Chains A and B, each alone.
Chain A
């Protein structure tokens, strides 16, 4: 996989550049290249404990080739290295040390038909590498994974009435995620210990995702989108546990539903500070997960069976504002995200681990602040900071932290290729 990615990067250096922002003044039937490279330094803080400063690299490339107005394809490559832990990666109960690397390669064919119809099949592969403890070497992380993807998008570009352009897509995506180094200890040693058999590669999943997306270009510099997605995630090697702590022959299967909508608008320039261009947006998302998997708390003091342990619903509210100072091209953006998650079966626990009668719920607030300043035509200086606070009605934190605050910052340059 890494060889493929390295070859793609070398190839990309030989190709002519294209730039979405430039519009592309004429059709170009040769190869085109565009992308972005980010290079940052940053630091992560968790409950006031500081992780060491480290780097962040993100390289995105798209190489495209059109054969005509009817057909063409593009290849996407991405490489990402994160040297410090991110707020959204709390596996391990809040450890400060984490490094991750990701490489992906994808290809998508575009076939357009008269009447605004398009058909777009795609293939992709992604590898993720984690170093979550200091004794893990690259390529030997417990949670290293590979994901193989295939998808088909059917698109229609039409209009909503006379005024509004409307593009909608119906997509089917298939993801097979494989964790080569994660297998249950019981599968490795269970026979010798006479323990149960929960399955071997219990994290591996095969996901069928069906999505619908609509985009509207509204008058007055506004736009809106609607997204609906249903995922059926099968765990081909994870057995369902019953109320006696026994593992059944039936396998775990999750259903995930996501409904979202968003709206953004550019306002007229504010004629101060050398002219400021403001934009604002709002996103609303509802998601839920239903799983047939249960949980048996084997702590001898509790021995608690919880049906539907993983089931939850979540509502998310995400407003954002940004401003571009036209004179200096300094850009500032501020985003806020609030999420409320309610587990429908999982009970909150007291500090001594005893179970309460209330189901567990969790609130998360996040604030993202970003600034960018052009150093050269394609090179921006960027500064980002993210603060996040999570709280819940769960007081038992021996195995996982539900109540915490964390923040990170990073600064560096972004180069548009």
Chain B
């Protein structure tokens, strides 16, 4: 629609403003005599004096006396002023070529360059092709031709076919021997132009801009690189977020990644800590391999991940999630439904979620804990313990069971949500302090905006909204998102908005790379994770 309006406006403008200079391009030359000026229609015609504006056509000769001058006006606004004692001929005035001849005398010309495709003035010894130019020209009947360009360009050829372009403030003589070396007029010469005149200033400004443009491009490249490094994005709520990440090496076996999300009115930040069993190499690109060999390695790894921490805060409230891993131990996974045989896997995994802040009782409180071990709590089996807040706000065992790899039915029962004989007596699932979990999609089911809210029995509420958002603030549009989708690498940032009834109305709102969460998920105990990748 807008395009249609634009086209209509353009068309209307053309109709309303008929080309004002349409006639300017039509070839036509008018003579304005000043004093006694004579013309003739060719050499066989008689000279006759003209005293008013007279249209000139090809073949006309014009001559001025020692005291008179004449002016030729072109339909494009160009002018030629004939000095006293000039003999001038109009040879051709069509649109292909306008050609004139100066047999003797002097002329001064201001040529717009639109009158004809090519405009030439001949003298007995030279031909001048004119671009948009202001120049003077004089010719002697059998002698030299002198040219002086005030502004613009003039292309001059001699009878030998040699050509020279002369430009502003240059002069040229064409004698019987042809072109001579063009010369620049002295600055003290009357023909020298102003130092700061329009054309010179226009050219100088253009040159300055060309050089400045190189600096502009460099600055633009600088900004683009900021974007390429993902330091400047838009969040799901249309706010600019500046992101920065820094790597620290607190110890030889540890690195810490600090990430900051800064909006105009708030700072949210967090860190990721990875601690390993022994020294990690200076080349941290090898760390991903060490992390990978922590889980499901065929042989005992030489180094492994011991501790993992994700911490998010709005500078007042915080969520800290830690994962502590025991040394890898050999586990035969065949009994757990994976036909891979024996692999090395952390002997224990302890996941803890802690809330902190001025509204949290005691300033800090563990609200959720999940532990898993092999062969420690029960020989030859994986034991799984989950603790959360009960009605009194105390951390209490909620789920407690073990995996017996020799009992196929029990394993299958657990993997489908049951417990049966594998449960310990203190397992309290369905026992009165079950948390209530609510899932929703605040931006509709087809948008990657997933909100999970958990209400514990004591009334504590923790909600985490995960949004996959592009750098331009657009939320990923897809059908039926699920928790795994948020952990996939892709072209989106993960915005995490964490709220709690203990945060006194504040929220934590960070943008991070999804991979950070992917690593946490990998280390988090979950029956579904007991599958080789």
Which A residues are within 8 Å of any B CB, using their own CB?
18-20, 22-25, 27-29, 32, 34, 41, 43, 53, 62, 64-74, 76, 88-96, 106, 108, 110-116, 120, 122, 132-136, 142-143, 145, 147, 149, 151, 153, 157, 159, 162-165, 169, 171, 173, 175, 177, 184-186, 188-190, 193-196, 198, 203, 205, 207, 209, 211, 213, 217-221, 227, 229, 231, 233, 243-246, 254, 256, 258, 268-269, 271, 274-275, 277, 289, 295-296, 298-305, 310, 326-330, 351-353, 373-377, 381, 383, 396-401, 409, 411
Contacts and interface: CB of A to CB of B under 8 A. Distances in A.
Interface residues of B, number: 122
Given A245-B247, A299-B515, A207 B218 contact: yes
Contacts of B198: 18-20, 22-24, 32, 34, 64
A399 B230 contact: yes
Interface string B144-171: 0000001111010000001111110010
Contacts of A195: 246, 248, 258, 260
B228 A74 contact: no
Contacts of A217: 153, 165, 167
B214 A231 contact: yes
B513 A398 contact: yes
A171 B224 CA distance: 28
A277 B131 CA distance: 13
Contacts of B220: 88-89, 91
Contact of A184 (B229, B244, B519): B244
Contacts of B14: 373, 381
A388 to B, nearest CB: 14
A300 B214 contact: no
Contact of B196 (A66, A96, A177, A258): A66
Interface string B249-285: 1000001011110111001010110100000001111
B247 A196 contact: yes
A206 to B, nearest CB: 11
A231 B218 contact: yes
Given A25-B134, A34-B202, A353 B208 contact: no
User: Residue among A43, A110, A198, A305 with the most chain B CB within 10 A?
Assistant: A110
Given A112-B187, A196-B246, A218 B19 contact: no
A136 B221 CA distance: 22
Contacts of B155: 219-221
Contact of A65 (B167, B196, B264): B196
Contact of B267 (A65, A151, A189, A207): A189
B226 A91 contact: yes
B195 A68 contact: yes
A246 B255 CA distance: 12
B227 A399 contact: yes
Nearest to A296: B247
B287 interface: yes
B238 A134 contact: yes
B224 A91 contact: yes
Interface in B161-217: 162-167, 170, 179, 181-182, 184, 186-188, 192-202, 204-205, 207-208, 210-212, 214-215
Given A25-B134, A93-B472, A398 B22 contact: no
Nearest to A192: B315
A244 B280 CA distance: 11
User: Residue among A69, A151, A163 with the most chain B CB within 10 A?
Assistant: A69
B379 interface: no
| Nearest 3 CB-CB pairings of A with B | A399-B230, A72-B196, A93-B471
Given A25-B110, A108-B208, A175-B215, A400 B230 contact: yes
A120 B226 contact: no
User: Residue among B166, B207, B260 with the most chain A CB within 10 A?
Assistant: B207
Contact of A229 (B19, B163, B214, B232): B214
A305 to B, nearest CB: 7
B19 A92 contact: no
B472 to A, nearest CB: 4
B519 A301 contact: yes
A326 B207 CA distance: 29
A395 B159 CA distance: 65
Nearest to B21: A329
B240 interface: yes
Contact of B288 (A205, A302, A396): A302
B95 to A, nearest CB: 5
Given A92-B472, A302-B285, A122 B230 contact: no
Contacts of A94: 471-472
Contact of A133 (B25, B199, B201, B240): B240
B418 interface: no
Contact of B274 (A90, A122, A205, A300): A300
Interface in B275-309: 282-285, 287-288
Contact of B20 (A23, A24, A374): A374
B473 interface: yes
Contacts of A396: 491
A71 B196 CA distance: 7
A303 B257 CA distance: 10
Given A142-B240, A374-B20, A400-B230, A43 B211 contact: no
A41 B7 CA distance: 13
Contact of A69 (B13, B95, B193, B199): B193
Contacts of B201: 20, 34, 62, 64, 74
A77 to B, nearest CB: 11
Contacts of A229: 211, 214
A189 B208 CA distance: 41
A23 B151 contact: yes
B244 to A, nearest CB: 5
A359 to B, nearest CB: 14
B489 interface: yes
